[in-house]
Amino acid sequence: MAPAEEIEVGGRTVRVSNPDKPYFAELGIVKRQVVEYFLAVGPGILGALRERPTTLERWPGGVVEGAKLSTRADHTGDAFYQKRLPKGAPDYVESARITFPSGRPADEVCPTELAVVAWAANLGTLTFHPWPVSRPDVDHPDQLRVDLDPQPGTDFADAVAIAHEARDLLRSLDMDAFPKTSGGRGVHLYIPIEPRWTFVEARRALIALARELERRLPERVTVNWWKEERGSRVFIDYNQMARDRTIASAYSIRPTPRALVSAPVTWDELGSVRPEDFSVLTMPARFAEVGDLHAPVADHAYSLEPLLDMVARDERDHSLGDLPYPPEYPKMAGEPKRVQPSKARD
């Protein structure tokens, strides 16, 4: 084991333990390089996380064959989600108090400076999961996040096509979105919004957007929560706007053997890039060239009223109400029964 190293980050001294520990063995990437990666894209990752309660996805043993992520049902994984401020965190690591759907509160890491990102990387954090809220108001989202998830039989190109359709729809509503690769097969769209609406309202707005896309492209888009009903279409995961549901931030590393990252892209280049174009090894040079393509997200704030008008229209003209929440949620007002169709008794 190599001795610990200390690095200076914004006037802070951050300790990197076991810096030569393999994190992506197939690529020869060690822990030190993971920390260096986040520093290289520092303004971008901090822009994605600053003042946001953030869940840390920690892979302290690195990404090795057979490693798995712990889940609510199985706590035996090699990696885990850190949803509370770790004990012993340095004084400069601040927190934000959030409330889970159960009503339980928690103090989550709330990055305010790049040293916090480096500190988290030393703990094995590869993927940062910020809430779509800011610390001053954790109950009213300031981003609407659209997760375009290709189902079996579809791929990244299908998600890209739907992303462009979504943008056309948004622009017709005097709104716009900022795209990024998910780091996997999907595409994420960030829509900056005014923090005037609750999680419930923001989620319903996303459902309305998704339903309109499904209405226009029924063979290519689905909002069906149950996998057995999705088919070979792109699923718009509306529950990513439910409280305590998050997606990987821009510039986060995904725990795959290729060390791919979630990369902001321009609309013009979205159709010509591939997820594998962006990795821990290639992203620093790209960032040095193009900077933070998601920086303008902070410069806009759209109203949700056009989408909420669509919610009212769906209810009035099509008798379309809410859709199922994730299984760990308490039963929500107006929610249909939460049971897989093939197992329903009626």
Identify the pLDDT of residue 72. 78
What pLDDT, in 10s, does the model give residues 298-321? 999 999 999 999 999 999 999 999
Using the predicted structure, report yes or no on whether residue 344 has a pLDDT greater than 80: no
Identify the pLDDT of residue 219. 97
Using the predicted structure, report yes or no on whether residue 345 has a pLDDT greater than 80: no
- Contact present, 237 and 149 (Cβ < 8 Å): yes
Of residues 151, 109, 147, the one with CA closest to residue 131:
109
- Contact present, 175 and 165 (Cβ < 8 Å): no
Both tokens assigned to 332: 């929500």
Q: Within 13 Å and on the Cβ side, how many CA atoms surround 147?
A: 20
**0.85 exceeded by pTM:** yes
Identify the pLDDT of residue 64. 86
What pLDDT, in 10s, does the model give residues 87-134? 999 999 999 999 999 999 999 999 999 999 999 999 999 999 999 999
